[in-house]
Amino acid sequence: MREEIIRISEDEIARQREFAQKVRFHPDRPKTYFIVTYGCQMNAHDSETLAGMLEDMGLTAAAEKTQADIVLHNTCCIRDNAERKALGNVTWLKEIKKDRPELLIGVCGCMIQQAEMANKLLKQYPFIDLAFGTGNLYRLPEYLLEAIENKDRVIRVDREASTVAEGLPVRRENDIKAYITVMYGCNNYCSYCIVPYVRGRERSRLSDDIVREAELLVQSGVKEIMLLGQNVNSYGLDSAEGVSFAKLLRRVSRTGIERLRFMTSHPKDLSDELIDEMACNPVIAPHLHLPVQSGNDRILREMNRRYTREHYLQRVQALRSAMPDIGLTTDLIVAFPGETEQEFQDTLSLVEEVRYDSAYTFIYSPRKGTRAADMPGKIDAAVASERIERLIAAQERITGEILSGMHGQTAQVLVEGTSRRRETQLTGKSGRNINVNFTGDASDIGKIIPIRITGAGSNTLRGEKEE
Ligand code: SAH
Ligand code: SF4
Ligand code: F3S
């Protein structure tokens, strides 16, 4: 099934704003909200949009989930544990609702978008008042008004996921760093992955909309922007604009933003044009998240990743010859169906060869509806956890070696705040995206300053301000 890409019209967004005004002046509306977010940065940013819409309706953030009048769970279903955690927390709220029947419980995000999930919620979770999917998030004002006026459940899980809505209000979590989603969805259909089913097909925002958003962020004092997409390298391929991701990066870097990051890059689409742009553009941080998943060609083929180990290593080499100091990070899956010990060792040896700054490691989790879920060769749970432990141990050693090797170097640190323990202890991130702690004062917050590295912990650096 090929879904249509639907660009939500300005009229529709205006209609939602009218619903928002009606909610704002409704005597029975919830006064406070709490959002529980699971999953990736894109979900985190969607939650900022949900918060923006709720505040537009006059609600304010509650300090505790148990005190809020409405609790929204923005869910993830990438692995089974993400889903169980969300459902567990939703169920826990049922007890709170017994004491406070006016509490509205909402569920949205990727988990909801799965086939059969809406029915399951309707039947097995009668205490859920409000549910909507990823493609109709922009209609929250309409749904909330309906829930308040009819005092009835509103379950609007549209299987249609491929929408683009511009101009929604956003309440950002951080004054220094901000996310901008540049494209939604994914067309890659890696055989283990649920994302293409729950986030719809790839659709890029127009570059002018993205640049305008970046300009407004710069004006409001934001220092770092992270551009988000499941595979940013295919940005623009679905639109007639003819703006590649490398060109988009260049345009955004000229808005006056001090530091620019992006994720995620699919290795099959990592172009020389992008590597060149990263190498010659000082605003783009010297860090790339390049998920490899496995170091074995047969497994990569079964995963439908559409690159080989050799191609991946060649891309790493191209990156490092253009930028000797670039930091690389990755995602790795162990115990994919049929993975042999030898095939797993290929992943280990790739990790040794590339030497990532850090890696996210996952045990394969079957997702209903994906191709891999029907593959034979399920790996025993004990074998899977033994593999992931070996992989984590190898990566921790490499991270330790890389961090200790930074002793004496100078890192450009965007200072984000004080540490929880001491006011004079400041913390920020280097260009390579590594946490750096140093002694300074509050006037450093929000600046990029040079810090001489004097020591390393297991995944953070210590340093001193350069005179
Ligand atoms: N679009 C990004 C990743 C999105 S999901 C990319 O292509 O790299 C983040 C990570 O979750 C993936 O890189 C993968 O390592 C992991 N993941 C996805 N599906 C999974 C599954 N079914 N089981 C275990 N890990 C999975
Ligand atoms: Fe999932 Fe693959 Fe798309 Fe990433 S590129 S979101 S892993 S299907
Ligand atoms: Fe999870 Fe959806 Fe992100 S499934 S990882 S929240 S795109």
**pLDDT tens per residue across all 467 residues of the chain:** 456 788 999 999 999 999 999 999 999 999 999 999 999 999 999 999 999 999 999 999 999 999 999 999 999 999 999 999 999 999 999 999 999 999 999 999 999 998 888 888 888 999 999 999 999 999 999 999 999 998 889 999 876 678 899 999 999 999 999 999 999 999 999 999 999 999 999 999 999 999 999 999 999 999 999 999 999 999 999 888 999 999 999 999 999 999 999 999 999 999 999 999 999 999 999 999 999 999 999 999 999 999 999 999 999 999 999 999 999 999 999 999 999 999 999 999 999 999 999 999 999 999 999 999 999 999 999 999 999 999 999 999 999 999 999 999 999 999 999 877 777 899 999 999 999 999 998 899 999 999 999 999 999 999 999 87
Q: Which tokens go with 385?
A: 């956890």
Cis preceding-peptide flag for 264 (omega within 30 of 0): yes
How many CB atoms lie under 10 A from the CB of residue 221? 9
Ligand nearest to the CA of 363: 1
- What is the pLDDT, as a whole number, of residue 422? 77
Ligand index nearest the alpha carbon of residue 81? 1
- Residue 194 CB–ligand 2 contact under 6 Å: no
User: What CA–CA distances, in Å, run from 449 to 12, 282, 307, 406?
Assistant: 45, 15, 39, 17
* Residue position matching structure tokens 């007639």: 240
Instruction: Could you list the beta-strand ranges (E) of 309-459.
Output: 327-334, 358-363, 410-418, 425-429, 435-439, 448-456
- The CATH T-level fold of domain 410-465 is OB fold (Dihydrolipoamide Acetyltransferase, E2P) (2.40.50)
What secondary structure letter does DSSP report for 219?
Answer: H
Which pLDDT does position 1 carry in this prediction?
Answer: 47
Query: For domain 174-285, which architecture applies?
Result: 2-Layer Sandwich (3.30)
Architecture of domain 289-404: 2-Layer Sandwich (3.30)
Residue 25, amino acid: F
Candidates 359, 308, 352; CA nearest to 334 is 359
User: Of 41, 45, 77, 134, which is best to mutate to test ligand 3, by the most ligand atoms within 8 angstroms of its C-beta?
Assistant: 77
User: Which of 41, 188, 304 for a ligand 2 pocket mutation test, highest count of atoms within 8 Å of Cβ?
Assistant: 188
**DSSP H/E element including 82:** helix 80-99
Same fold, 6-163 and 174-285: no
The whole-angstrom separation of Cα 66 and Cα 72 is 12
The torsion angles phi and psi of 90, rounded to 5 degrees, stand at: -65, -45
Counting ligand 3 atoms within 8 A of each CB, the residue from 45, 78, 188, 230 with the most, and so the one to mutate, is 78
What's the count of helices (H) and strands (E) in the chain, helices before strands?
13, 21
Could you give the strand order of the β-sheet that contains 60-61, starting from the edge strand earlier in sequence?
Answer: 60-61, 32-37, 70-75, 104-109, 130-132, 154-156
Contact yes or no for 178/55 (Cβ under 8 A): no
Q: How many Cα atoms are found within 13 Å in the side-chain-facing hemisphere of 120?
A: 9
Per-domain residue ranges of the chain: 6-163, 174-285, 289-404, 410-465
DSSP codes joined into one string, 261-283 = EEE---GGG--HHHHHHHHH-TT
> Is 76's C-beta closer than 6 angstroms to any atom of ligand 3?
yes
Cα(455) to centroid of ligand 2, in Å? 37
Residue entry with tokens 């300005």: 10
Note the CATH number of domain 6-163.
Answer: 3.40.50.12160
Spatial CA neighbour of 334 closest among 387, 392, 375: 387
H/E segment holding residue 34: strand 32-37
Nearest atom, ligand 1, residue 360 CA: 15
Residue 190 Cα to ligand 1 midpoint, Å, equals 9
Distance set, CA 378 to CA 84, 298, 370 (Å): 21, 16, 15
Q: Is 78 in the pocket of ligand 3 (CB under 6 A)?
A: yes
Please state, in angstroms and rounded to a whole number, the distance separating the CA atoms of residues 192 and 365: 8
Give Cβ neighbours of residue 346 (< 8 Å, ≥ 6 apart): 294, 295, 296, 297, 299, 309
In 207-362, alpha helices (H): 207-219, 245-253, 272-280, 297-302, 309-322, 341-354
Burial per residue of 436-451, b for 16 or more beta-carbon CB atoms within 10 angstroms, e otherwise: bbbebeeebbbebbeb
The one-character DSSP state at 284 is B
